Chain A
């Protein structure tokens, strides 16, 4: 059903339809059940009609928008005032919307500097499992009244209610950027550089480690380091970073500096997940550097393109047929993964791989917010 307004949505939830699956932009298609051969047990609810920026006052560092609003629309309004969403949303050009970004916790490499989706959600309006449209949190940058439902919704995958509006905290955007790429690294060198970088006092905006296929001999890594700020001093800071990298590599040719459009294009490819083969799924697995190194040594993902981010998550371009093996491997390691995008692959039966979190507390939260199981639970 394509709802016309929030009243429709409330009525749908209060009714006796099958469990509801909410969608809008359809960019995290792996979460989408629309293409499944059998959707008889699921009520599809399209909320893409809920659009528009409701409030934006640049001096307040806040922006409120309806859940179906494309993130691109928010970014374009923010850009006019030199601001941005610091958690660095994914799949923006692909059409990601406000609600899907929050519900799937889709943060990009820029998360490193100021935090993730959870750190920039201030308030929400949502329809709970009883069909009540409520408001939680506030529209100001600082608030400590009431339970933090806004954070609870981050990563909830539509299972605890349907977001209809979100208030984000926004920040001034660095006026300009530079990126230093360090090529031809093996795992040991990559690890050393990551640790060393995170100990510097340089303000790093993003640090990603990309696997690079080098034919039959296996893979190497490229480390990407982004800095930003006012033009004054930026080139000097970038030169310092380049020297830092050169001092730690075998050949000067292994270090590359990107500016302006080249810089933007590089990071855009990462956050649009364009490097993920369209026939594969994108898998996100939160993990620290030591866990990443452990995983690499175990060769869990050795055949697949992957990006490890210093924001402490690994993104993998995974063939659908591998999900069962990976599920078991993650389970054994005590890690949890979430599929982010399916591309043209067949529907996956699973969205969450590996260990489940939340236990008793999550059960009780569900009991309070959706006692009649009106929303589809991710599996």
Chain B
């Protein structure tokens, strides 16, 4: 290891390598604070050339690493590797190009998600995937975890917007993946394989993203129901009507109460709220919004509200977007899961979760992407009470198993990371995991690229850390 650091000192400026205990503490956890691991060092490349050289050094000396942007992973994806280093990508924060004609953005991995849309707005474009932490999370992390957001139903996840990648493989080789600047490609879709590989295939140092035209018009409707089931049925009605909403979100009573207490969105005091949003060409949205209003009318909501202005739309979304941090006010700690169930089984899933909550004596609030069956149960607990974290984790596990029983997935957008390692073998057969292991071993024979994530092995121990500082400050939330 001494040789590694000696080589590193020759390669980089001293301020690019942090090794002091106080400097490393901030990197011990990501947004999944239940896990912590102190890295040996935090290395901050200033350029992609630096990054490639650092990866080569790690490969040569067999030093494991994890790349990290803002550390907002909810699955522990950027948790440091034991006896390894963190490669911090925040200094690679250049938007290389916004190309209005080709509707593309070329960015470095440390660029924050929201910056892309901000930079593209002047030319009438935006970057569609909108994880709720988009004001801080970086595109390198979005690519590694195939991040989603509230608007995935219509526009897809990160993977659907990555056109090309320049990557450094675990052994330090560099290669370009994808169709270059074209949306189409010839040959196996290696860019598609790389996105969502949770850092196990190396690090993307330049990312080419597809941009979409800003919607000409947006129609946002809020409907309140006297039961969660009615809200779920309304989603089914909207789907079978042939409409393709940009987003469909549901909040339950506990989440509504929390949001009200936190941001006073003025929501109706009901058992469930449904938000449906249409966007696109104005004439099309006009026609579709009439259809939507009729469909919703037939679902007999207690109350409906329409956003007639951008300000009213912002008010409707304010409570929804703030719901997670708001729930944090109801309880010192919480765990959030992001399992997926088939839409038809949503009602069944929610009533089971309610039953589990009662049986295990822990409150669960539900805020979820109803349009794509992506649940976000928030399990409230107090980590200061002996054994409560473990009980909360056990309840989270019951919910993930439930998702699998109902024919879904253990994760819709947060990734496996370290958090769901134990459930991979329940979702995939041993032989299918073996294929993943073979692929991982072939791409990273040295086992240095973010080992211990995604593929089941020994999971690190839980530890009680409390809420993430950024979350306490209301900057990020866990959805």
Contacts and interface: CB of A to CB of B under 8 A. Distances in A.
A132 interface: yes
Contacts of A134: 429, 431-432, 435
Contacts of A286: 179, 182-186
Interface string A210-250: 00000000000000000001101110110010000000000
B146 A148 contact: yes
Interface string A80-108: 00100000000000000000000001010
Interface in A99-148: 105, 107, 111, 114-116, 118-119, 128, 132, 134-136, 138-148
The 8 closest A-B pairs by CB, nearest first: A151-B192, A286-B184, A201-B216, A368-B442, A286-B182, A143-B409, A142-B412, A156-B188
B428 to A, nearest CB: 6
28 contacts: A60-B342, A105-B184, A116-B184, A135-B429, A141-B340, A145-B410, A148-B159, A148-B195, A153-B189, A154-B188, A154-B192, A155-B186, A155-B187, A160-B188, A173-B242, A200-B213, A201-B213, A286-B186, A289-B102, A290-B102, A291-B182, A312-B179, A338-B186, A352-B186, A358-B190, A359-B175, A362-B188, A364-B442
A332 interface: no
A82 B432 CA distance: 35
A357 interface: yes
B407 A233 contact: no
Nearest to A103: B188
A223 to B, nearest CB: 17
Interface residues of A, number: 87
A82 B407 contact: no
B448 to A, nearest CB: 15
A367 interface: yes
B424 interface: yes
Contacts of B181: 288, 291
Contacts of A252: none
Contacts of B193: 147-149, 151-152, 365
Interface string B107-131: 0000000000000000010000000
Contact of B189 (A118, A171, A233, A289): A118
A379 interface: no
> Among B187, B213, B216, B280, which residue has the most Cβ atoms of chain A within 10 A?
B187
A343 interface: no
A347 to B, nearest CB: 20
Contacts of A148: 146, 159, 192-193, 195-197
Contact of A151 (B159, B407, B439): B159
B214 A201 contact: yes
B396 to A, nearest CB: 15
Contacts of B439: 147, 365, 368-369
A94 to B, nearest CB: 21
B284 A199 contact: no
Interface in B271-328: 280-284, 286-288, 290-291
A144 B414 contact: yes
Given A60-B342, A142-B372, A155 B189 contact: yes
Contacts, number: 275
> Among A111, A160, A234, A368, which residue has the most Cβ atoms of chain B within 10 A?
A368
Nearest to B242: A172
B415 interface: yes
Contacts of B283: 233, 236-237, 240
B188 A153 contact: yes
Interface stretch (B4-12, B45-53, B148-156, B458-466): B148-156
Interface in B134-183: 145-146, 148, 152-154, 156-157, 159-160, 167, 169, 173, 175-177, 179-183
A143 B411 contact: yes
B197 A140 contact: no
A257 to B, nearest CB: 16
Nearest to B433: A146
B201 interface: yes
Contact of B372 (A141, A199, A313): A141
A153 B190 CA distance: 9
B435 A143 contact: no
A16 interface: no
Contact of A201 (B185, B215, B343, B416): B215
A284 B186 contact: yes
A144 B145 contact: yes
Contacts of B153: 141
Contacts of B243: 172
B344 interface: yes
A201 B280 CA distance: 7
Contacts of B176: 357
> Among B145, B188, B190, B443, which residue has the most Cβ atoms of chain A within 10 A?
B188
A41 interface: no
Contacts of B242: 82, 172-173, 175
> Among A135, A288, A311, A312, which residue has the most Cβ atoms of chain B within 10 A?
A288
B76 to A, nearest CB: 14
A141 B153 CA distance: 8
B442 A313 contact: no
Nearest to B236: A59
Contacts of A230: 284, 287-288, 291
Interface string A189-203: 000000100111111
A260 interface: no
B375 to A, nearest CB: 10
B194 to A, nearest CB: 8
B240 interface: yes
Nearest to A107: B184
B188 A146 contact: no
Nearest to A354: B186
Interface string A343-366: 000000000100011111110110
A203 B212 CA distance: 11
A240 B281 CA distance: 12
A202 B281 contact: yes
> Among B193, B342, B413, B420, which residue has the most Cβ atoms of chain A within 10 A?
B193
